[in-house]
Every structure is written in structure tokens, then in C-alpha cells.
Amino acid sequence: MDEVIRVRAEAADEGARLDKFLAEAAPELSRSRIQKLLDEGRITSAAVLAGASGKNRTELKARDKVHAGDLYVISLPEPQALEVQAEDIPLDIVYEDEDLVVLNKPKGMVVHPAPGNESGTLVNALLYHFGDSLSGINGVQRPGIVHRIDKDTAGLLVVCKTDRAHRGMAEMLAVHDIERAYHAIVYGNFQQDEGTVDAPIGRDPRDRKRMAICEDGRRAVTHYRVIERFGNFTYIEARLETGRTHQIRVHMRSIGHPLLGDPVYGPKELPRIPGIKAADLDGQMLVAKVLGFVHPITGEEMRFETDLPDSFQRVLDALRKGR
């Protein structure tokens, strides 16, 4: 039987784009999932479809504008049989209970399958280790996945086993009620010891595979502080107030401090650091080091911190030696 979610627009939502409004109002559903459900005709609103003129419409569009009082009904199909293959890939599990799992994702692992990355992903590994014991809210390609980190970013990630836990975690993410601290090595030396970047992020209009600072993007806030200085490089902590795609990478580039090793937003040529091989700089020097939240079922305060990956530590040691 289909699961039904009902969402009513308030005065503050007047004029918002429909797909964006629904993704924020139902945080357990990603914006891309909302768009897919719209395309499939699984989101309806009697008031909107009738229209002010009384002329009936057949379907809602992602670009439709929201009006206060509109009631939207989202019909979620039953979870389909997953076509992604389970693979015996080791997982570094930090914590596990009957509702969720906290794990340490290695650098180089993609979170969920996509064209060009159909195997070897975190989801392939999760299916092997947990089988059907994963939440199904985010669809067949992303079982248990509430949030993700980039392929070349290592660190802590929470995966949900139950839909109830998934909804609770998604709600905390939506109101920025999860502690997420990243460690990074960036180019240049900061004049100040700490600061905040508050700049909206959206798709780069010149390259849809990249993100960029743009006026019509979604609000993004990153707080940073200096941990250690090395002259041409700085070791920093970055804390996310929001969670946009490539947020830290885009924000640091925007203030003149791109991440060391970043193949997309950093310099094309890697610097020569004595004692460091090119393989150690393969991908951005970024680690999801701290993850803290209130357990969505038990209410227990939880906080996890991981060690730096070996390659990250080698670069730090080399910079300290050469200082």
C-alpha cells in the first residue's frame, strides 16, 4: 500500500517553487526525488490543479509557484525490489543499533550507485551487510541514505535502518540540528583565525557538473577556524550550518582558499611537497571528522570523532616538517 504524505503551504511559503518547497517541507525526500514523483503524477493538489480560472490541469510541474493554503498530497510507491547488487566490501562501523549505523567512509568510495559507478559503492556494501534491514524512504537506489559525502571525502556518515529513524534524522538535518565538523587543508594563509562564509550555492550555469556561488542558489553557511598554519597552506576546521553539495569546497574557493588536492575547484597543477607522493594528493584534503546528533528514537545525545586518514596525516606531517 502506498504511503501518503500531506503538506500544506503557509504564508511564508507564498511564491516558492513547488519542488523546492516540497523538498524542504518533507525533508525525508530529496529535491530530485520530488521532481521524479511530480513527473510520475504522484503529487497532487486539488486547489492548484483547478486553478483560479477554474480550468483543470492534468499534472503539477516542478516550476509551479506555491500559494498559502495549498494542500499537496504525496503518494509514495511501495519500495521496489532493489536491482543494485550486494557486494562483500568491508565497512568500518563505528556504532550500530537496531535503528541506525554510524560508519567511517573511506576516501575514494562513492555513496550510492549512479551511471559510471554501478558497483563498489557504499550502498552495494550496505546491502551485503544489512540486507533488507535498511530504510526505504529515499528509494531503491539509496536505501538507508540520509545524507552523503563526496567520493573523495573520507569520514563519518549515518545510515538508517528504519523509516522512523530516517524521518527523525532528516528532520534534524532540515533544521540544521546535527553537529558536522570537517577538517581540511587549504591553500594560502588566513589573515584571521576564524570566520564565516554565508553565500548561496547552486549549479554553475557554465558547467552543470560543478556548483558555484549564485544569487538564485540555496542559502549556504560555513563556519571555519584555523587549526595550524604552514605559510602557503592552512589546516582548518569547517563546521556546516547547512549542507549543500560541495559546500566547503565551493565556499573555500570563493574566499581564495581552495582545498589542497581538489580536482574540480582547486588549481590544475598540484604543488610539490617534499616527502609527499602525487597519490596522497589524489582528491581533496577533506575529512568529515565529527558527527553529533540526538538519537531520533531514544533521545540519547551521541557524538563521534574519527581519526585522520593515513594520506591526510602524511601530508600534515610533511607540511609540519617543512615549516
SS3 per residue for 240-264: ECCCCCCHHHHHHHHCCCCECCCCC
Of 13, 70, 99, 150, the catalytic one is 150
List, by residue range, all CATH 3.10.290.10 domains of the chain.
Answer: 3-76
Instruction: Going from the first residue of the chain to its last (323 residues), give the mean pLDDT of each consecutive group of 10, the final group possibly shorter.
Output: 79 89 81 87 75 57 90 79 78 95 93 75 89 71 78 93 89 87 97 95 83 88 97 96 91 97 92 87 94 96 96 94 82
Give how far Cα 32 sits from Cα of 38, 42, 229, 255, 313, Å: 10, 14, 40, 29, 36
CATH 2.115.10.20 matches 3-76: no
Residue 116 pLDDT: 66
Dihedrals phi, psi of 53, to nearest 5 degrees? -85, -10
Cβ atoms 238, 181 nearer than 8 A: yes
Residue 115 pLDDT: 63
Residue 6 pLDDT: 87
- As a whole number of angstroms, the distance between CA 86 and CA 70 comes to 42
Cβ atoms 213, 201 nearer than 8 A: yes
Residue 55 pLDDT: 45
* Count of positions (residues) in the chain: 323
Residue 52 pLDDT: 47
Give the residues across from 313 on adjacent strands.
none
Q: Is 88 in the active site?
A: no
Residue 141 pLDDT: 54
List, by residue range, all CATH 3.30.2350.10 domains of the chain.
Answer: 93-174, 179-321
If you ran DSSP here, which 8-state letter would residue 112 be given?
S
**Strand 201-204 relative to strand 207-213, pairing:** antiparallel
259 half-sphere exposure, CB direction, 13 A CA radius: 27
Class of domain 93-174: alpha beta
Residue 119 pLDDT: 83
pTM to 2 decimal places? 0.75
Strands (E), the chain: 3-8, 43-44, 71-76, 93-96, 100-105, 154-160, 179-187, 194-198, 201-204, 207-213, 221-229, 233-240, 286-294, 301-305
- As a whole number of angstroms, the distance between CA 29 and CA 36 comes to 11
Residue 53 pLDDT: 42
If you ran DSSP here, which 8-state letter would residue 110 be given?
-
User: In terms of C-beta distances under 8 Å and separation of at least 24 residues, what long-range contacts does 19-25 make, across chains too?
Assistant: 19/62, 19/63, 20/218, 21/66, 22/72, 22/74, 24/174
User: 179-321: which CATH number, 3.30.2350.10, 3.40.1000.10, 3.90.440.10, 3.40.630.30?
Assistant: 3.30.2350.10
User: In terms of C-beta distances under 8 Å and separation of at least 24 residues, what long-range contacts does 97-100 make, across chains too?
Assistant: 98/161, 98/162, 99/160, 99/161, 99/162, 99/164, 99/165, 99/295, 99/296, 99/297, 100/158, 100/159, 100/160, 100/161, 100/162, 100/165, 100/169, 100/295, 100/296
